[in-house]
Structure 1
Amino acid sequence: MDLFILSVVGIGLLIGYLNVPGEWYAGLSKPWFNPPNWIFAPVWTILYVLIAVVGWRTWYIVQRSDLKALWIAQMVLNFLWSPAFFGAQKPALGLLVILPLLAVITLFIARARMVDPVSALMFLPYAAWVAFASLLNGAIVSLN
């Protein structure tokens, strides 16, 4: 399990480090519900730990190929969002990544619910945060 946690959290933090919001992001118009910047790193760190534990459970406990494929798909989309939004400085491109991400997370929860309810429950905070982030991303697109 340690390898899953170290890998997922490490890659997530590296992508965050390589795609710092910076002045470009600071200059964007944001909605009233935009949280302070300091909240994102701790929230994502916690979420990455949950994602990693679910990945480990998917590989070593449940061992279902459909859940493995969904877990990989959400990881790929998750890791693509920061480079799309911050790296390319394209909020609309970020929206094109985050909406399928939310769909895949939701599908994972729906499929895991019957075979691994613990993983399904562990993905609920992730789904809630990505739903909020999708709303925020969409609002930034509409305001800019």
Structure 2
Amino acid sequence: MVAVVALVAALAATSATEVYGRLAQPSWAAPPSLFGPVWTVLYLVIAIAGWVYWRTDGETQGFAAYGIGLLLNLLWTPLFFAGGSSRLALVDLILLDFTVVMTIGLFYRRSKLGALLLVPYFFWLCYATALNVAIVALNDVR
């Protein structure tokens, strides 16, 4: 499931460098070359967290939150890059932030390791959310 999300994100991001480069960005924006490696590691860690949780016979609520989070993650790249709507992408990202926090809490009940593995993902999402907010503020975007 995580591999599908990563594949769709990669396909939707074919114009990412061009789109990202055209946008006014804050001084603290990461270079485009950083995103691919970071997301590769994060997708691997997200998959491991799901597997660790699954091995504990995790509760349905935890799996539901995890799945909703993957769906929201899947939507962001096409919304931002292919769809050209950084405002809708921001709404999606804020929902994803809350979903990941909920997932961490639900995972923690059964698997502290599964929950802790999602913490770097959450911190990266916080950075991505701040960056998305700055891009919306600095650009005349939809």
Normalising by structure 1, report the TM-score.
Answer: 0.89
Provide the rounded CA distance (Å) in 2 between the counterparts of 1:124 and 1:72. 17
Provide the rounded CA distance (Å) in 2 between the counterparts of 1:25 and 1:46. 21
- The residue correspondences of 1:1-144 to structure 2 (distance < 5 A) are 7-9=1-3, 11-20=5-14, 21-144=16-139
Greater relative CO (CA pairs within 8 A, separation 6+): 2
What percentage of residue pairs aligned between the two structures are identical? 32
Q: Which amino acid aligns with 2:18?
A: E
- Residue 24 to residue 40, structure 1, CA distance change in 2 (3 Å): closer
| Count of aligned positions | 138
Do the aligned residues in 1 keep the contact of 2:8 with 2:74 (CA within 8 Å)? no
- Equivalent residue of 1:57, what SS? helix
Q: CA deviation at 1:114?
A: 2.7
CA displacement 1:10-47 (0-9 Å, x = unmatched):
54044223322143331110011100111101110111
Provide the rounded CA distance (Å) in 2 between the counterparts of 1:88 and 1:17. 13
CA displacement 1:101-144 (0-9 Å, x = unmatched):
01000111122223210011100000000010000001000001
- Equivalent residue of 2:28, what SS? coil
Q: Specify every segment of 5 or more residues in structure 2 that has no aligned partner in the other structure, as ranges.
A: none
- Equivalent residue of 1:62, what SS? coil
Q: Specify every segment of 5 or more residues in structure 1 that has no aligned partner in the other structure, as ranges.
A: 1-6
Normalising by structure 2, report the TM-score.
Answer: 0.90
